[in-house]
Structure 1
Amino acid sequence: MSEDTQTTGDIEVVRNDETGRYEVVVDGTVAGFTEFEQDDAGRLVFPHTVVDPAFSGRGLATTLVGAAMEDVAARGETIVPVCSFVVKYLQGHDVPGLKIHWRERDVEVAEQAPGREQTPADEGVGRE
């Protein structure tokens, strides 16, 4: 299992290749995740992000996606943002070295999604 960790205080972001996701861990509990899967071209497709409502008010989705994008950039991998939260994050944040393959449909869907994190907990982001 490949697992890398980025820690900020009591919050960790862990890449778990076995489950195909980055997980945000708060005090030892998985509070949310953003999934990824490799496409035929070897790019990482990010289809879905979820944060447990029990961890509201911390901006964990932003922390999670930010750390995940930085890690992917450091690895030299290319992403395909499909999750509307990931798309919106990337539209508002520069991630040096990150290679992005934009799909127009996903950008259009993200433009229709709520513009701000939910108060700011972002719980349930990406649920369809």
Structure 2
Amino acid sequence: MSTEVRINTALERFELYVDGADAGYVEYQDTQSERAFVHTEIYPRYEGQGYGRLLVEAALHSTAADKLGALPMCPMVHHFIETRPEYLIMVPHWARDSLNLPQ
């Protein structure tokens, strides 16, 4: 299966496509220096196959390329960052306590 993640700036979300079919998205809201990830949705047909991980990883890589910090408000993005310490650096120190993430 081929996968592609596209950014849809009009809807403020990253969209996941699997073999050309819409498989889910992660919504965000940008500030001057951070990107807050507020909701992730993987459609039922695609759940449990690792597509959520691919989507979140691509969204975080794009966020890093845009030189923005990450605010993982959505549980899926929060869990992704919490279980992969290499991404914790993207979360500003001031936000880690309120998000229950390590300093």
- TM-score interval (norm. to shorter): 0.7 to 0.9
Whichever residue aligns with residue 35 of structure 1, its letter is E
Shift of the alpha carbon at 1:17?
0.9
Tell me: higher relative CO, structure 1 or 2? Use CA pairs within 8 A at least 6 residues apart. 1
Name the SS for the 1:106 alignment partner.
coil
Return the match for 1:30 from 22, 27, 39. Answer: 22
Aligned pair partner of 1:13 in 5, 19, 25: 5
Q: Is the 8 A contact 1:21 1:35 kept in 2?
A: yes
- Please list every run of at least 4 consecutive aligned residues from structure 1 whose deviation after the TM superposition is greater than 6 angstroms: none
Paired residues, number: 98
* Residue aligning to 1:104: 97
CA-based RMSD: 2.1
Q: Distance in 1 between matches of 2:46 and 2:75?
A: 20
Structure with more helix by fraction:
2
Within 1, Cα distance between the matches of 2:58 and 2:42?
Answer: 15
TM-score normalised to structure 1 length? 0.67
Deviation at 1:50, TM superposition (A): 0.7
CA distance in 1, matches of 2:65, 2:82: 19
Q: TM-score scaled to structure 2, two decimals?
A: 0.81
**In the alignment, is the contact (CA less than 8 A) between 1:84 and 1:106 conserved in 2?**
no
Partner residue of 1:44 out of 29, 35, 41:
35
Q: Give, as a single letter, the amino acid of the residue that structure 1 aligns with 2:36.
A: V
- Which sections of structure 1, spanning at least 5 residues, go unmatched? 1-8, 109-128
Give yes or no for contact 1:87–1:107 (8 Å, CA) kept in 2.
no
